[in-house]
Structure 1
Amino acid sequence: MATDLIERHVAAVLARLRSDQELTDSVYEGDVRDNPERYVNVWHDVGVFSQRSLRGEHQDVEITFTVHSVGTEMWQATWVDGRVLSLLNDWKPSVTGRRCWRLEPAGTQPIQKDTDVSPPKLFAVRRWVLRSVPARETP
């Protein structure tokens, strides 16, 4: 198992989001720099590994992504969320050495207000699950 397995999956998702010209400079992974008016913040877990091979190897992975679409008001957060949805919904990432499934929606939350920042922001939350297995060469 490659030590950068999770990083490669995360990089594919971030690259997909940054491919949108409206979001290119406003996609973050955790820490948000400066104080952008609108942005996307991607959080992910460290992967759940499972054993599905006859050899007992734990190489199948499932990664959950939680994406916050943030704006200064509700409709701006909704606009950002719409762009994220159009990019990630039913998209199948390409990760070297892996066979990925399409991202699977895993829930949303109502738009919320973050008063811990100044000025306050509103954010929408969506979750996706990404599953992948090692790419196998066929004889």
Structure 2
Amino acid sequence: MPMRLPQPDNLTSLVLRTHFGDEVAWDALRSAIDGATFVSDRRFAGAEVRALVDAAAAAEEHERFNHLFIADATAMADPVHPLLIVDLWVEPGRTFRVPARWFFDVSANLGLANMYFEEYAEAADASGTFRGFGPH
């Protein structure tokens, strides 16, 4: 049976945990972010982007959403918690990172369609991390 993605609550963005090696880091990440649906389910341990994109594509139309934030090993190890955000709609599988500090801005603007995924992805620095608009 194909993997099914959980659904975000209301209009919040989904933060899916794929790394389970550090409970303290997971708690710190959740404390750093407001307005998200957090999912910590071990069946997603180590899940790859492609598998998550495929699961999103296989969902019923009313269950689909545009993007997904992933709390992977990189997000857990770095104190700024650079979540991996994945486009599930226009360019499925396209990614960039967003530190917890920028989560609300990115999540809200994508959720309201004030901005598009590619605008943030193109504003990411050389490491693939969005750190706000303007000089980094």
Q: TM-score, normalised by structure 1?
A: 0.29
Q: Which has the higher helix share?
A: 2
**Greater Cα radius of gyration, structure 1 or 2:** 1
Larger strand proportion of the pair:
1
TM, length-normalised to structure 2 = 0.29
